[in-house]
Structures are given as C-alpha cells and as structure tokens.
Structure 1
Amino acid sequence: MGLALAIVAGLSLGGLKLVTERLDSALKKADLLDSGARTGSGGLHGPLNYLLIGSDERDANPSAGHRADSIVIVNIPAGLDKAYLISIPRDLRVTIPAYPPTGYKGGQDKINAAFQYGGADGAKLLSSTVTNLTGVRFDGAAIVNFTGFKRVVDLLGGVNVCVDQQVTSIHTGHVFPVGCYAMNGAESLDYARQRYGLPRGDYDRQRHQQQILKAIAQKLTDPAVLANPLKLDQTVRAIGATMTVDTNGVPLNDLVFSLRNMRAENVSGIRLPSGGTQINGISYNVLGPDADGLFKAIREGDVAAWAAANPRWVNAI
C-alpha cells in the first residue's frame, strides 16, 4: 500500500518497476494460507481481503516460540482506492481446528495461539481459524516481524504520530505525552505494543498499531524519501527483509500498480465488536452482537456502509 502511495506522489512507472523488482527480490515468499482460507480467483478485482500477521518472535531468542501479536484483516473495497484495517483481538476466544501435522487436536483457545499450534505453518492454521470465524477468504497474506520493522521506521527518518492519551511504556518506562511528533523505530514499536494502563487495554493497542501502519504508508510518500534513490532502495529492501508474503499467485508488480489510487487519508481503522470477560479464571475477548454484521460486510464488500452505521467501532487513526 505504501508503494502504491509512492506512485501517486510522483514515482514514475520505470521507477515503480525498479522498486518492485528490488522488493520482490528481498521478500521471503511462502504458502501462508490454508486452502480453505484462500480465494480461488488470483485476480485483482475488488473487494480484496488480506490477512496481516504481526509476529512477536524475538530475533535474540527464537527458541522462545512465537504467537501472533497482531492480527489484521485488510479490506480493500471494489474501487481499490481505500482500505480498512480491521484488528482482531489476540485474546479473542475462538475454536481452533485440529492440525494433524503438529498433532494439535483442536479446541477453544485465544486466537493468537493458533499461530503457535500450527508450528512452522502457523499462518495456515491461523488463516483457517479466522476464515472459520468470519467466513472471509483471503487474496493473500503477510507476516511482519515487528522487531525488524524498527529498521524500516528509522530508514524513513521516523514516523509522525498523534498521541491522544498519555502512554507509559511498561517495557522501558518511556512516557509518550499527548501531542503530535516524530517517533523513531524503537519508540514506534514500543508505543504500538503497549496495552497495560490504557483505558481500553488491548483495543487501544490495536488502534495504535493501526496508527503506525498508516504513518509508515504516509512517510513513504515523503519527497525526501522519494528523491533519494539510496534511501528509497534501503527502505524497500528493509521492508522486504521484514516480511514474508503470499500474493495468491499475483505478480507483485501487478498488485502494487493496482493500488495506485490509494491515498493514506483513505485508510481507516475498525475495532472488532467484542468485549472482555473472564472464563475459568482466564481473561478473554468474546464477540459482540455487531460482529456478524461486520463479517457479512467484509464478505460482501460493503464495509463502508457498515462503518457509517456503526461509528462506535471506527478508530480515529
């Protein structure tokens, strides 16, 4: 999406080809979607839905395992000029299907556990779980290593974020005061991972992650980035090193070009209708009565109408 915005900002078609070739060579490709969670079209006629997974795997301690620290459905309506970032709470209580390759027998658990139970193919089990929950099939998927994305933000010279409620990091003690200012890579990652001490807990964390994603897309259109071939090339390769993708057989160049009319201001955040509860002493999120309507809107390509009718679930990002 950020590269598509860069086209709008003045990147030539020749420049687009070079950029996407560099990105394509840097990206790790994998079969991320379960067959039952994948659309069969392989086309670029909207609406399109992508599954974005933020992995909490630590580069310094990979033996500690990994879970899906962030799960986002990216819905792109038929015009391919808008996007909705629909965050799924990582503590959402769902039924995770059995997964014979790892011996997992299936059962009720937090949705982010599916990424771990699936082992090396955790994205497949997670995609199957999300499709079973929502009825939505996906046109592609990506896994983002959040520890690696710090370098992307730093190469961009930081990202501009507006903080509307003070946030104090439980990891570093850093205080993010109310106001709009630039954050470097470490700060933006720290900000995006906080949930304790916030009025709405994980829901505020989801909104902050949506803010950072939108801020990266906006910064990619900065003339200082576009006019500096070395910086642009370094940034593109850093993005590639941070992501593993499944484009459902669509060439990356075609995918990026199809999103050429995207605008950063037309990226909206949505909170999944749900709430917190305790079950057998364990904290979960459970779906609310408005969730089925949202899932239906995603499947039918009418998220804009649903959002207009349900403003309480739309995040200000």
Structure 2
Amino acid sequence: MSALGELRSIGTKKVKGGSKAKTENKAAYLFLLPWFLGLGVITVGPMLASLYLSFTKYTLLSPPEFIGIDNFIRMIGDERLHNSLGVTFMYVFVSVPVQLGLALALAVVLNRGLSGLSFYRSVFYLPSLLGSSVAIAVLWKQVFGGQGLVNVLLGFFGIEGRGWISDPSTALSTLIILNVWTFGAPMVIFLAGLRQIPQMYLEAAEVDGATKWQRFFRVVLPLLTPIIFFNLVLQIIHAFQSFTQAFIISGGTGGPADSTLFYTLYLYNRGFANFDMGYAAAMAWFLLVIIGIFTAINFWASKYWVFYDD
C-alpha cells in the first residue's frame, strides 16, 4: 500500500471514531438531561428568583415591588436579627468543636480492633440519621422538659431539676447537646481516615521510642488533618443551617426570650409568619455570604495546619 493510501485509511478511521464518540456523547447528555432539568428547575431557578425577591417588597399577597437594597439596609437596625446571629454563632462555635472532638475520640477507640465493630459503628451512626428529624426534636423536648428524663435522673440523687427548655440560660445548651449527640457521621469518616494511615509510620515511631500519646499527636493527628478539615467544613455549614430542632423545641418562636432563635428560624418567621418574603430572601442571601466567608477562612487557614502526603 502506498503512503497516500495509508493516510486515507487513517483519516477514515478517525472520522469513524469521531462519529462514534459524538454518538456516545449524545447518549450521555440524554441520560443527564433529567439531572440538568432538576438543577435548573429545583436549584438554579429558585436561587435566581430569591435573588430578585431580595431587592423587592413582597408579601405573597401582592406583586413584588422593587426597592433596591432597602432590605439589606434594614438588617442593620434589626435587633432580633442581631440576636439570632449571636445565638447561631454560639451554637456553631460550641457544638461543632465538641462534636468533632467526641467523634474523633470514639473513632480512635473503635479503630483499636474491638469485636463487633460493625454493630458499634451502626449504633453510633444512628443518631446522625435521626438528629435532624421532627421525632427526635419532640423526644428531646420531653427529655429536657420539667418532668423529663433528665430531671427524673437528677431526682434519684436528690438534686432538684429545672425546666431546661423553658429557662433562657439553659435552652440553647439543650440544642447544643442534641447537635453533639449526632456525632455519628463525622465519626464514621474519621474511622475511615484512621484505617488509611500506614502502619509502618506508627511502627517506626514505636521503634524510635515514641509513647502512645506521642504517636497520636505527632503521627496520627497530622496525617488525619485532611479528614478533620473536611468534617469541620461540612459540620459548620450544617450547623449554620440548623432549623428543625429549634423550631420544635421552641414551638416556632425561638423562645424563651429568643434564646433559641436561630438565624434560619427567624428567617422562616419573617417569610412565612409575617409574610415579609422580600426581607426573608435578603436574609437567605446574607446567610449564604456568611457561610461562604467561613468556608473561605477555613480553606485559607488550612494551609497552616492541614498536611497532605506530598
């Protein structure tokens, strides 16, 4: 075969291969079409609509009236909004570190090769599946109520209980405990990370005379920092979005004395109780900015404390 014939043969094969690739791409896009439709209709569409509504005065009973940035300026003087931010920040800054610390401690214990590991892992993970449900929030309200399980247990030791949920000084603490109790998801992720640490590092440290604590803090913990960072980002976002627990325990009011008024709960009240949907949309975008700022700070700070294999 001449050189010209070989070139023609190669060109024909490329054309056929390109046609096959285009056909496969069309099939892939066809299968992805429901996902793209869902993304546009369920996610992107409502986000754009809420962005527009954040610049309007909209009460659900009348057409939106464009008012510019008045809703965002209004936030500056909203005392209840400021209080809800304080409650939310307290909830996030206390519950997330405690939750991750407990999850890591239990993951280390389970990683030591306990018998029945699958059973314990399932039991500890179960609260994460139920923690944000209405049923658990109702149960939690009963546990910390005036005649609840906590006061019954304290009564056995002669200690007089209190209305933990009805007391402004302790109501938020009950929600923090509830969030800490749902440590199962980060624990499972920590356990998977611990299983991926090469044993040769620990054996080498042991040969060098390192104690158990030294091996943990100087070998295990640095290698686990990417997992800690991953869990930290996810749990902060999840904590900022918490709503169900506060809504059920406070009866949707954020009481007593706004001590459980999460930002999301106040947003809900403004939008669906007061029909101030334009202001609620502005609050939602402000929450998005807050979460974005904290996520960006975490990624910026990660270069100082997160260590990767390279």
Q: TM-score range by the shorter chain?
A: under 0.3
Q: TM-score, normalised by structure 1?
A: 0.25
Normalised by the size of structure 2, how large is the TM-score?
Answer: 0.25
Bigger helix fraction:
2
